[in-house]
Structure 1
C-alpha cells in the first residue's frame, strides 16, 4: 500500500479485446501487460429486453459500465414483491442512485467519451463529462501526436505535470472510454488495425508520461481494460473454464464456488463464463508484477496473477487505492 492516496486513470476500450492477438514484439499493450498485474473480469448476462434506440453497441457498453461502476443491480430490480412479476429494466439515463462522491468518500471523477447516451448515463452517476473531441482540442497542439496530447491532458487533470506530482488535482479518477470507430465494416481488417493502433498509441503515451522510477509512477494507478462487447455467439470461445472442469461432473462437484460468481455472499446465476473483460493494472511499488508478457486472453488466462474477479468489484478495488473505499476481501 502506498503512503499517499493514488490518483487513477482508467482506459476502457469497449469491444477491442477481439482485435488483440498473442504477444507481438513492439506492442505498447504487451509492454504494459508485462509490467502490470493482469487478470479477467466476469460480466453478467442481462435478461432479454427490447432493443434500445442507442444501438446494440452503445447499449452493450452501458451494461458493461453499469457493472464496472456497480450500479447494474439498480438497472434490473428483479421481481416485484407484490405481483411476483419481473420489474422492467430502468432506463440507464434515469437511474436514481447516490452519486459517486456519496458512495466513495468524496471521490471526484471525470469521464471522457464521445457517446451522448454514455455521457448522460455517466453524468447521472456523478461524473464530470468531457467530450472526446473537445478533450483532444483542449490538450493543445504542442504534442507530437494526438494520443500523447490526450493523455497529457488527462494527467494534468490528475495533478501530474511536467513529470511532477502537484499537491492538488482537479480529479481523483479520470475514466477514458475508447470506442470503436466503426471502420471495420467499411475498411475490413484495415479498419480493425486502425482501431487497435489508436489504442496502442494511447497506452504508449501513458507509459511515456509515467516512466518507471519517476515520481508520477508511484502515485498513478493505471487500469487498461479491453472488452469483447456483444458476445452472444460462440460461447465456447474465450471460456474461463478449463475443458476438464466443463466436462467432468465429478470435478465440478468438488470445485468450490468461485468468488467471481458471487456478490455480497449471494450466488449469482447470470454470470457469463466466457468473453470476460481483459484487465491490466499498474502502479509502481503497489501492484505486483506477474508472468504475463502480452495483452491477450490466452496470456492472461495462463499467466495473469489477479486471476478472475466479478466486474462489479472493479471500482471498489480502484477506490481503495485512492483511499476512497475500505479494503474488500483478502
Structure 2
C-alpha cells in the first residue's frame, strides 16, 4: 500500500474483451507490469436487454445490485459512494443514458465525453493524449506533478454505450478498443515508473464480454478442469473463494466469460508473469485468479484510503 493516499482511474471497456487484438501493444505493456485476474458476474436474466445489462453489470461492480433491482425507488435508498467510502469523491464518465441516471442515484458526479472537451460528442473524436491529460487533471495530476487537492478521488470511465443495434455496436466496440489501447499508452507514458504520478495513480483496466447467455466456449471458463489438476494434492482441491459470500455459497455465479482486470500502481501492486492482455495468459499466469465482481470497488477504495481494510 502507498505511503500517501492514491487516486484511482478505472477504464472499463464494456463488451470489448472479444475485440482485443495482439497488435494492441499498450494493453500488453500494462498487463506485463500489472496484477492480473478475473472478476466473475452473475448469470444474465433471460429477458434482459443490452441496455439493462450495461446498468446491471455496472451495479454489480459497485456492489450496488440491490439498488439496481429495487424498481420502486421508495422502499430502500442505496447509500451514496461518499457515504459508503469515507467521503470519497467519485465521477462517472459515460455516454449511456441509463447509466448516467443510475450513476447519479449512487452519488457519482456524472459527466459525458463532450464535457471533457467542448463540442466533441464522440469518444473517437477526442485526441487520446488530450483525454488522458484531462482525466489525470480531474484526479489532481498536472504536468507530471501531484497537486495537493483534486476534484475527485476516483474517476470511472465507461466506454461502450449499449444503445446501438448489434451490427453497429460490434463496429463501434472494435473502434473503441483501439482507442482504449491509445488511452492506456498515453497513461503509461505520463506515469513512468519512478515518476511522482506513478506511485500515486492506481490504474484499473477492465474488459468485459458484454451480453453472454450460454456457455458456448469452454476456452473462456475460469473453472479448473480435471486435466489441469496435475498436482499430487489435487484430491484436496478446495472450493474457490469466489463461489462464496461469507460462510454461504453464492447462488448465482457465472463461471465463463468473466471480466478481465489488470491493476497497476508503481511500487504498490504485485507484478505477475503475464505478458499479454488475454484470457489465456491471465488464467495461466495471473496472480489475482478469480474474485467476485462485487468486491472490486471495495479493493479500489482501500487503495485510495477510503476503506478501513482490504475487502471491507
Q: Same fold (TM over 0.5)?
A: yes
2:61 to 49, 57, 68: 68
Q: Kindly state the Cα deviation for residue 329 of structure 1 after the two structures are TM-superposed.
A: 5.9
The separation in 2 between residues aligned to 1:32 and 1:127, in whole angstroms, is 27
Per-residue deviation, 1:68: 0.8
Q: Does 1:206 align with 2:187?
A: yes
Secondary structure at 1:62's aligned position in 2? helix
| Superposition map of 1:128-139 within 5 A | 128-137=109-118
SS at 2:8 equivalent: strand
TM-score normalised by length of structure 2: 0.88
1:297 corresponds to: 279
More deviation, 201-210/223-232: 201-210
Question: Is 1:324–2:297 an aligned residue pair?
Answer: no
For residues 18-38 of structure 1, what are the alpha-carbon distances to aligned partners after superposition, in whole Å with 9 as ceiling and x for unaligned? 1124xx356111111111110
Please tell me whether the aligned partners of residues 44 and 213 of structure 2 are also in contact (alpha carbons under 8 angstroms).
no
SS at match of 2:41: strand
Shift of 1:63: 1.2
Q: In the TM superposition, what is the alpha-carbon distance from 1:180 to its structure 2 partner?
A: 5.7
Give the 3 Å change call, closer, same or farther, for CA 246–120 of structure 1 in structure 2.
farther
Distance 1:46 1:196, change over 3 A: closer
**Counterpart of 2:150?**
169
Structure 1 residues 225-279: Cα deviation after superposition (integer angstroms, max 9, x where no partner): 00011111334431001331799xxx99843222111223321020100000000
Instruction: Tell me the CA shift for residue 163 of structure 1.
Output: 0.3
Instruction: Report what 1:85 is aligned to.
Output: none
Instruction: Return 319-328 or 144-153, whichever deviates more.
Output: 144-153
CA separation in 2, counterparts of 1:91 and 1:199? 36
How do 1:180-329 residues align onto structure 2 when only pairs under 5 Å count? 182=164, 185-186=167-168, 193-237=174-218, 238-244=220-226, 254-328=236-310
| In structure 1, C-alpha distance between the alignment counterparts of 2:307 and 2:103, rounded to whole Å | 20
Deviations 1:6-53 (A, max 9, x none): 0000001100011124xx3561111111111101001112555x54xx
Q: Aligned to 1:10, what secondary structure does the other structure show?
A: strand
Distance 1:91 1:116 in 2: 19
Q: Does residue 117 of the first structure (1) align with residue 98 of the second (2)?
A: yes
Rounded Cα–Cα distance in structure 1 between residues aligned with 2:19 and 2:90: 29
| 1:193/1:4 CA distance change after superposition, 3 Å | same
Residue aligned with 1:194, SS: helix
CA contact (8 A) 2:16 2:209 kept: yes
SS of residue paired to 1:288:
coil
- The aligned residue for residue 86 of structure 1 is none
Give the direction of change, closer, same or farther, for the CA distance of 1:75–1:113 in structure 2 (3 Å limit): closer
Evaluate the alpha carbon distance shift between residue 291 and residue 183 of structure 1 in structure 2; reply closer, same or farther with a 3 A threshold. farther
Structure 1: state its 5+ residue gaps: 77-88
Deviation, 1:134, is 2.0
Whether 1:6 aligns to 2:14 is no
- Equivalent pair of 1:93/1:117 in contact (CA under 8 Å): no
Match of 1:117, SS state, is: helix
Unaligned runs of at least 5 residues, structure 2: none
User: Could you say if the C-alpha distance between residues 94 and 292 of structure 1 is closer, same or farther in structure 2, counting changes exceeding 3 Å?
Assistant: farther
Q: Distance in 2 between matches of 1:67 and 1:187?
A: 22
- In structure 2, how many angstroms separate the alpha carbons of the residues matched to 1:150 and 1:93? 38
Paired residue total: 304
Give the structure 2 partner of residue 90 of structure 1.
Answer: 71
Q: What's the CA shift for 1:137?
A: 2.8
Shift of 1:145: 6.1
Measured at CA, do residues 180 and 131 of structure 1 come closer, stay the same or move farther in structure 2, by a change above 3 Å?
closer
Distance 1:47 1:185, change over 3 A: closer
Per-residue deviation, 1:74: 4.0
CA distance in 1, matches of 2:194, 2:204: 18
